[in-house]
């Protein structure tokens, strides 16, 4: 006798139910509690190559930057292992086609140097981000005590209108969130320019890739280096 399994799967059994965000609107992450996040990617500087005066100036400017902001931020540093196999293979192909014997030998020596280097040490790539939050508890624009929020319970009894009201409220709140985050991101951008760091908000496409890589680290554990050696200034002048 065969017993059929009549147990139905949970309608929301996908992994999405465990994610803290509900959607990405434009280039802003909308969390499930109606708060929001804006992610900015920052360029880097080689601090050790600066002279003493420049280093002191950078430290003082960064201290002023931290003391000037009156809203919370999160600084995220991501490390990725760099895969240079394809780069070395392509470099070897270029060496074979090299007619100058001196440059050819130098290229082979450089390839051998890189191979020995990656045997003793992992080459890592670091990426730096600043995350700007917009939380309900700190902004009246998305609190239930707002003018529209006070009538939410009343409109919930009218099913034909609640969806329309909710959509209008979300649109109204999003415009306020977007304006707030835009103002704060411009302040961050201006301050960091004083220490030669460029900070730009991620686009929607970049944000999707950022979240995909973040929640799937095994898929993004290796960063492929570009095959075109000319992009690394390894030209045969």
Q: What is the DSSP string of 50-111?
A: S-HHHHHHHHHHHHHHHHH--S--EEEEEEEEEE-HHHHHHHHHHHHH---HHHHHHHHHHH
User: pLDDT class for 53, splitting at 50, 70, 90?
Assistant: very high
User: pLDDT class for 95, splitting at 50, 70, 90?
Assistant: confident
Assign residue 186 a region: left if phi > 0, alpha if psi is -120 to 50, beta otherwise?
alpha
Higher pLDDT, 189 or 32: 189
Judged against a pLDDT cut of 50, whether residue 144 lies above it is answered with: no
pLDDT for residue 114: 86
Q: How distant, in Å, are the alpha carbons of 17, 114, 124, 195 from that of 119?
A: 42, 9, 13, 35
User: pLDDT class for 192, splitting at 50, 70, 90?
Assistant: very high
User: pLDDT class for 38, splitting at 50, 70, 90?
Assistant: very high
Higher pLDDT, 6 or 56: 56
Interval 180-199 mean pLDDT? 92
Q: Judge whether 156 and 162 are in contact, CB under 8 Å.
A: yes
- Of residues 155, 128, 173, 154, the one with CA closest to residue 34: 173
Q: Judge whether 37 and 90 are in contact, CB under 8 Å.
A: no
User: pLDDT class for 132, splitting at 50, 70, 90?
Assistant: very high
pLDDT for residue 82: 75
Q: Most distant CA pair in the chain: distance in Å?
A: 85
User: pLDDT class for 220, splitting at 50, 70, 90?
Assistant: low
pLDDT for residue 14: 65
What pTM did the predictor assign?
Answer: 0.65
Judged against a pLDDT cut of 50, whether residue 149 lies above it is answered with: no
């Amino acid at each position: 006798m065969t017993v059929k399994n009549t147990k139905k799967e949970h309608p929301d059994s996908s992994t999405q139910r465990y994610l803290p965000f509900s959607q990405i609107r434009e280039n802003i992450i909308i969390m499930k509690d109606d708060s929001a996040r804006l992610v900015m990617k920052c360029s880097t500087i080689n601090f050790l190559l600066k002279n003493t005066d420049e280093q002191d100036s950078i430290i003082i400017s960064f201290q002023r930057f931290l003391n000037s902001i009156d809203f919370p931020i999160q600084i995220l540093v991501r490390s990725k292992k760099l895969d240079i196999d394809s780069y070395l293979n392509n470099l070897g192909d270029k060496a074979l086609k090299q007619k100058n014997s001196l440059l050819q030998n130098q290229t082979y020596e450089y390839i051998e140097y890189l191979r020995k280097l990656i045997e003793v040490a992992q080459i890592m790539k670091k990426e730096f981000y600043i995350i700007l939050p917009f939380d309900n508890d700190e902004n009246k624009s998305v609190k239930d005590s707002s003018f529209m929020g006070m009538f939410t319970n009343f409109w919930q009894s009218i099913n034909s209108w609640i969806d329309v009201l909710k959509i209008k409220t979300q649109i109204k709140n999003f415009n306020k969130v977007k304006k707030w985050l835009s103002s704060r991101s411009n302040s961050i951008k201006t301050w960091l320019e004083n220490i030669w760091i460029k900070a730009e908000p991620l686009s929607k496409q970049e944000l999707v890739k950022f979240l995909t890589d973040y929640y799937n680290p095994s898929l993004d554990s290796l960063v492929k280096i570009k095959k075109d050696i000319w992009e690394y200034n390894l030209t045969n002048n």
